[in-house]
Amino acid sequence: MKAKISRLQLFLLIPNILFGKAIGITAGVMVRKIGGDTWISMIFGFFIGTILICLLTYLSSKFPEKTIIGYSEELLGSGLGKLIGVILAIFFVIAYGTSANVLILHVKEYFLVETPFIVLCFVYTLLCMYGVYLGIEVVVRFSLLGLIMLLGITLTMVTGTFNDFNFIKLQPLMDKGFIADMESSVYLFSDLAMAVFVVGILYPMLNKKEKMGRILFGSILLSTVMIVIWPFFETGVMGESLMKEYVIVCMEQIRCAQFTRYLPRYELLMVSFFTFSIFVQSVAMFYCASHSIKQVLGIKKDKYIIICLSVIGFLVTFFMGFDINNFASFLTFPWPQICAILSIGIPMLLIVVALIKGKLIPFH
């Protein structure tokens, strides 16, 4: 890879990838399954996700110049390695569709209600295509701005709803039991899988790779705090019964926020705050899909892949999100379950094979 990114940029990228969908749409899916324990279930999910990212980072450090597809071919053979590449390419395309629909549905449901959904899909796909054309290293620079805005929106949400927060609405804790909370964390893997596999694809791009395990551990820990605080406050302010009524829970939470008598609602401000973050997430998914295809097929011309993927991405985004209820159902089953199987199964398979082949030096 000729493109290079810094360790700080990858640190900043992870919260941008995890935040946008998790605080609203994923939280909405989870609350309909586990109720007020959504924030507890998310903590369980992030605990597992942290382990996965640290393990994959360690494995990637043994093949510093290869992506997860590259060292899959070395460990499993060319055929199985390319199969993993195909699976990841499909994953990233669908992940792009879910990411794109996060922003498009916010805009469609709350602001541009009369604008045809297909127009929003087309415009956003063109924007992401242009971002990939510029290069992932250019787009990743927006991660700092995205993180600042995410911190800003989280701070304003907390301060704007603090007076309405009621601890009674959080009770009873673990109402459905510890096992049920653990099982429901599977819905978070539609977000965690994106972060896990982005690390596997972008790791060779790092200009310095020392201490990346610690750096990414800190990154996902920051992400956990920033994200879990949303369902915690959403439950404490709205209550689980009201949360269950909405697909995009975070927008209803924002409607509860009030800072002064002159700024009673700030939905537009919220969308403006996390637009950069969602854009970075979408472009990262688009780029990783194109790079996966490039590695599998050996195509050298990026523009051909980008153009073809733009058409595919547009179609996936449109058919996935034009019916918001079907989109919510897809994010309930089977997408998170598939993401959990892939994000746990692929790294563990590669680690076991690497151990057997003596590639993990400390265990050799």
Beta strand ranges found along 256-306 (DSSP E): none
Average pLDDT of the chain is: 90
Cβ-in-10-Å burial (0-12, 13-18, 19+) of 244 comes to middle
The region that residue 163 occupies, defined by phi over 0 for left and psi between -120 and 50 for alpha, beta otherwise, is alpha
Please say whether the beta carbons of 215 and 221 come within 8 A.
no
Digit-coded pLDDT (tens) for 77-89: 999 999 999 999 9
Compute the distance between CA of residue 82 and CA of residue 61 in angstroms, rounded to an integer.
Answer: 21
Compute the distance between CA of residue 215 and CA of residue 15 in angstroms, rounded to an integer.
Answer: 13
Note the Cα 303 to chain centre separation in Å: 25
Among 124, 132, 57, CA closest to 97: 124
Residues in contact with 254: Cβ distance below 8 Å, sequence separation at least 6, in sequence order: 157, 160, 265, 266, 267, 270
The full set of domain ranges for the chain reads: 7-357
Mean pLDDT of 146-174: 89
The residue with tokens 């994923």 is: 26
Mean pLDDT of 297-317: 90
Q: What is the DSSP string of 49-116?
A: HHHHHHHHHHHHHTSTTS-HHHHHHHHH-HHHHHHHHHHHHHHHHHHHHHHHHHHHHHHHHHT-TTS-
Take residue 212 and report the two structure tokens written for it: 């990346």
pLDDT at 111 exceeding the cut of 70: yes
pLDDT at 7 exceeding the cut of 90: yes
The pLDDT value recorded for residue 317 is 96
Digit-coded pLDDT (tens) for 256-272: 766 655 555 566 677 77
Position 159 confidence tier, pLDDT thresholds 50, 70, 90: confident
Position 201 confidence tier, pLDDT thresholds 50, 70, 90: very high
Mean pLDDT of 6-32: 93
State whether residue 34 is helix, strand or coil.
helix
pLDDT at 248 exceeding the cut of 90: no
Please say whether the beta carbons of 59 and 350 come within 8 A.
yes
Q: Is pLDDT larger for residue 330 or for residue 266?
A: 330
Q: What percent of the chain has pLDDT over 70?
A: 95
Beta strand ranges found along the chain (DSSP E): none
The pLDDT value recorded for residue 299 is 80
Mean pLDDT of 187-212: 95
Compute the distance between CA of residue 42 and CA of residue 224 in angstroms, rounded to an integer.
Answer: 8
The pLDDT value recorded for residue 266 is 64
The CATH number of 7-357 is 1.20.1740.10
Cis peptide before 336 (omega within 30 of 0): no
The pLDDT value recorded for residue 364 is 36
